[in-house]
Amino acid sequence: MKDVTKMSDDFDRWYTDVVRKAELADWSGIRGMMVVRPYGWAMWEAIMRAFDDMIKETGHENWAFPLLIPREYLMKEAEHVEGFAPEVAWVTRAGGDMEELEEPLAVRPTSETIIGPLIKRYIQSHRDLPKLTNQWNSVVRWEMRSRLFLRSREFWWQEGHTFHASAQEAIEEASMILGNYRSIAEDWLAVPVLTGRKSPAETFPGAVHTLTVEGLMKDGLALQMGTSHYFGQNFARAYDISFSNKENERELCYSTSWGISTRLVGALVMAHGDDSGLIVPPKVAPIQVIVVPIYRDDESRAKVERFVNSWAPELKAAGVRHRVDWRDERPGDKYAHWELKGVPIRLNVGGRDADAGQVEMVDRLSRARVSVPISGIGKRLSHELDSFQTKLFDRAQQFQRDSTFELRTLEEVIAHFRERGGLVWADWCGDGEEEARIKAETGGVTIRTIDESAKPSGKCFVCGNPAKYRVALAKAY
């Protein structure tokens, strides 16, 4: 019953099996709406804590803005409205008699259009800037096709919205946040990412530019793991968010917004998992070490229990999140169970170990069994977890390298993606019509990022004219 579909047989089914059987999330029965279960939510909590600490460090503050947005507000920034209109859900009735509202209210798909008109009252002077806001909430986007964590009609995220006195400062803000996102992906989730700028077709509606963090999943598809947008004065103009500068002139703010979501839990599943289930990076693992006691009767159980109790407090003291599995199951069941759940390190502890003053340590990556003395166990495990985190990242990075290619023509790109996935670097001229053509002719391959730090050396892979950009191409979720 616990068996999951093999990844190689059907990746999508594997993904769904793992998410559900490892108890991360379920569908709710309400189309496209998911239930995030405690084990999945705990991973999101770890991400929340990490990112919240990062932004507090740089002066950001958490706010709470309304869930519902008056239509009038939503409509003000033309490009933004156009981009979001197809996925907005509306509240049109309320009250016991379900009376029609005078003005429909949009359920926020993102909050630029409610924060804009509300934040302006707190911004009068250049002394009020920068205004660095963030909120942790959920948003609703009326998706037509849903997948657990990756695309659901409601998802949980943070949305940062900042307002600055200069373009320069706002641009720097957006890129600093992108750096934080890279850190969340790489240092916390152990998923190596490409960072860069989005092409025009992929740029957030209303943004001057969008920066992105893109990861590669085990099926060879890319996943957008976070975006950070620079708006210039677009939203400030739409909502008249202005301030008096030092010369006592009225000036429009420059703003940004940025977000990461529960989609990252899906990313971690698809970047690390295997046929036995999840592999959770220690830094976000709800349980980092699982202890499986092995005994045959009350007497041997008591002995193992005494032994475990003698050193378990040391794990806590060392900051190791652990649990002892005293459920009345056979050890083999427990091994399989915790492997499915992706717990990084398991300790098998039986009578023999108690006698020898040691435990048998098994890591989820190698599954090699090593006997380790209980003396200094806390420190040892803490070290093993760090090493596990590193190995997981290295493994993912190796996969990314092995899945990265350099191609020169559209024909090569088409042929490549007919055969396999992965990331393809190519030089591109930047023509907007070509971008649509790439997508159409390759069966959905898109420009995931533009690497602004690299200079193109050759010709555009589509038209052969001199190239302006180095781009990473991939099929994406």
Partner RNA sequence: CGGGCGGUAGCUUAGCUCGGUAAAGCGCCUGGUUUGGGACCAGGAGACCGCGAGUUCGAAUCUCGCCCGCCCGACCA
Query: What is the contact surface with RNA in residues (CB under 7 A)?
Result: 1-3, 12-13, 16, 27, 29-33, 83-84, 86-87, 109-110, 141, 143-147, 151, 198, 202-205, 207, 210, 224, 227, 276, 294-297, 328-333, 335-337, 339-340, 348-353, 360, 362, 367, 443-444
> Smaller CB distance to RNA: residue 266 or 456?
266
The answer to whether residues 470 and 454 touch, using CB atoms and an 8 Å cutoff, is yes
Give least dist CB 464 to RNA, A. Answer: 26
**17: region left, alpha or beta (phi > 0 left; psi from -120 to 50 alpha):** alpha
C-alpha distance from residue 36 to each of 55, 116, 254, 338 (Å) = 25, 30, 36, 19
Question: Where does residue 71 rank: exposed (0-12), middle (13-18), buried (19+ CB within 10 A)?
Answer: middle
Give least dist CB 10 to RNA, A. Answer: 8
Give least dist CB 471 to RNA, A. Answer: 16
Give the position of tokens 């009578």. 351
> Smaller CB distance to RNA: residue 204 or 399?
204
> Smaller CB distance to RNA: residue 147 or 408?
147
> Smaller CB distance to RNA: residue 59 or 332?
332
> Smaller CB distance to RNA: residue 16 or 382?
16
> Smaller CB distance to RNA: residue 70 or 351?
351
Give least dist CB 470 to RNA, A. Answer: 21
d(CA 69, CA 106): 5
The answer to whether residues 345 and 378 touch, using CB atoms and an 8 Å cutoff, is no
C-alpha distance from residue 44 to each of 62, 176, 198, 260 (Å) = 17, 22, 26, 10
d(CA 111, CA 105): 13
Residues in CB range of 106: below 8 A, 6 or more apart: 68, 69, 70, 71, 74, 88, 89, 90, 91
The DSSP bridge partners found for residue 134 are 62, 160
> Smaller CB distance to RNA: residue 247 or 297?
297
For 203, phi then psi, to 5°, come to -75, 140
DSSP state of 23: T
d(CA 302, CA 87): 59
> Smaller CB distance to RNA: residue 335 or 417?
335
> Smaller CB distance to RNA: residue 313 or 443?
443
Give least dist CB 192 to RNA, A. Answer: 21
The answer to whether residues 290 and 322 touch, using CB atoms and an 8 Å cutoff, is yes
H helices, E strands: number in the chain: 14, 23
In the Cβ-directed half-sphere of 133, how many Cα atoms lie within 13 Å? Answer: 21
Give least dist CB 442 to RNA, A. Answer: 11
> Smaller CB distance to RNA: residue 58 or 309?
309
Give least dist CB 296 to RNA, A. Answer: 4
Give least dist CB 228 to RNA, A. Answer: 11
> Smaller CB distance to RNA: residue 126 or 380?
380
> Smaller CB distance to RNA: residue 254 or 335?
335
The DSSP bridge partners found for residue 193 are 215
Give least dist CB 265 to RNA, A. Answer: 16
Give least dist CB 124 to RNA, A. Answer: 30
Q: Cα 232 from chain centroid?
A: 26
The DSSP bridge partners found for residue 348 are 292, 360
Residues in CB range of 168: below 8 A, 6 or more apart: none
Residues in CB range of 267: below 8 A, 6 or more apart: 185, 189, 191, 215, 217, 223, 225
Give least dist CB 343 to RNA, A. Answer: 12
Give least dist CB 297 to RNA, A. Answer: 6
**342: region left, alpha or beta (phi > 0 left; psi from -120 to 50 alpha):** left
Give least dist CB 136 to RNA, A. Answer: 16
> Smaller CB distance to RNA: residue 123 or 162?
162
- Alpha helix ranges (H) inside 217-284: 234-239, 263-272
